[in-house]
Amino acid sequence: MSIYIDRSSRVVIQGITGRDGSFHARQMREYGTNVVSGVTPGKGGQKFDGEVPIFDTVADAVAETKANVSVIYVPPPFAADAMMEAAAAGIALIVCITEGVPVLDMTRVYPYVKEHGARLIGPNCPGLITPGECKVGIIPGRICTPGSVGVVSRSGTLTYEVVDQLTRAGIGQSTCVGIGGDPINGTSFIDVLDAFEKDPKTKAIAMMGEIGGTDEQEAAQFIHDRMKKPVVGFIAGQTAPPGRRMGHAGAIISGSAGTAAEKLEAFEKAGMGIARRPKDFVELLRARL
């Protein structure tokens, strides 16, 4: 077991012939992901790498190849439309890797996707991976190993750092999910924590947050009220100055809200394990497995 994706996932890649899309299409296939089709308007009927059928629309790809997971690599101006197209075509899980999607676009995409009953992960995220089974997105497969720690994070390379340290220490992962660093994204910490709580294979959870917003505080409340499984948390940006966007559009302290101190305090109140450094995850999780 795992969450969101596994061996049975049938993946369509939106933007499969683009620079990033084609590179990661190959990486995903190499990892063993069942990439059933790709979408590039105008290239319908062609084949990617001589094997993967390309369609003009997501609806065609779903009708012909029964895709149920979509991953999006299209440029920012077209990403909102791509997410909504996937939802309209009946895709159950939409993963948007694209960075730089305007936030006003997301105010329209979010309710649209929800009304169509789809789950959106991202945008501006590394995607997710169930080690040994399926990877959707850009998380490097070789740093992961199957196991029972669920990983959820707002960032990319910081996630790789922690997952790599876990793997080196012999601690495997059930599923790793990058929810993305934008102010409005499809899946929250709480959504993923809830899924991990219900997943029999996941025994403990590593959660990496950042400054900005109140997602981590709400997640801490959820952990306190509703979860039995142990969660270890980390917050990046303890040295970040207020009012400055730290790379991610969502990583900004507004006034006195969204500071690392405020989030860590919420973690403490929720009785979570607190990793002060990325490497602390190893011992804190080992003690909880």
Partner 1 sequence: MNIHEYQAKDILRREGVPIPPGEIATTPAQVEQIARRLGGMVVVKAQVHAGGRGKAGGVKLAKTPAEAAEVGKKILGMHIKGLTVEKVLVTAAADIETEAYVGIIIDRASKRAVFMVSPAGGIDIEEVAATDPEKIMRLPVDPRYGLLPFEAMEMGFFLYKDIAKARAAARIMQQLYRAFIDSGASLAEINPLVTTPDGEVIAVDAKMVIDDNELDRRPDIAALRDESAEETGELQARRANLTFIKLDGDVGCIVNGAGLAMATMDLVKYYGGEPANFLDIGGSSSPEKVVNALRIITADAGVKAILFNIFGGITRTDDVANGIVTATKQSPLKVPLVIRLTGTNEEVALKILADNGFAATSDMDEAVQKVVALAKGGAK
Q: Catalog residues that contact partner 1 under the rule CB under 8 A.
A: 76-77, 100-104, 106-108, 110-111, 126, 138-140, 143, 153-161, 164, 181, 183-184, 208, 210-211, 213-215, 234, 236-241, 243-251, 255-256, 260, 276-279
Measure the CA–CA gap between 40 and 84, rounded to whole angstroms. Answer: 15
* Distance of closest approach, residue 30 Cβ to partner 1, in angstroms: 14
What length does the chain have?
Answer: 289
CA-based R_g, the chain, Å: 18
Of the pair 10, 24, the CB lying nearest partner 1 is at 24
* Distance of closest approach, residue 24 Cβ to partner 1, in angstroms: 9
Of the pair 56, 164, the CB lying nearest partner 1 is at 164
Q: Which amino acid is at 138?
A: I
* Distance of closest approach, residue 148 Cβ to partner 1, in angstroms: 23
* Distance of closest approach, residue 223 Cβ to partner 1, in angstroms: 18
Q: Which two structure tokens, joined as six digits, stand for 125?
A: 């995220």
Active-site residue set: 248
Of the pair 8, 107, the CB lying nearest partner 1 is at 107
Of the pair 240, 285, the CB lying nearest partner 1 is at 240
Classify burial at 179, counting beta carbons within 10 Å of its beta carbon; exposed 0-12, middle 13-18, buried 19 or more.
buried
Measure the CA–CA gap between 235 and 153, rounded to whole angstroms. Answer: 10
Classify burial at 187, counting beta carbons within 10 Å of its beta carbon; exposed 0-12, middle 13-18, buried 19 or more.
buried
Residues in Cβ contact with 60 at an 8 Å cutoff, skipping those fewer than 6 apart: 39, 44
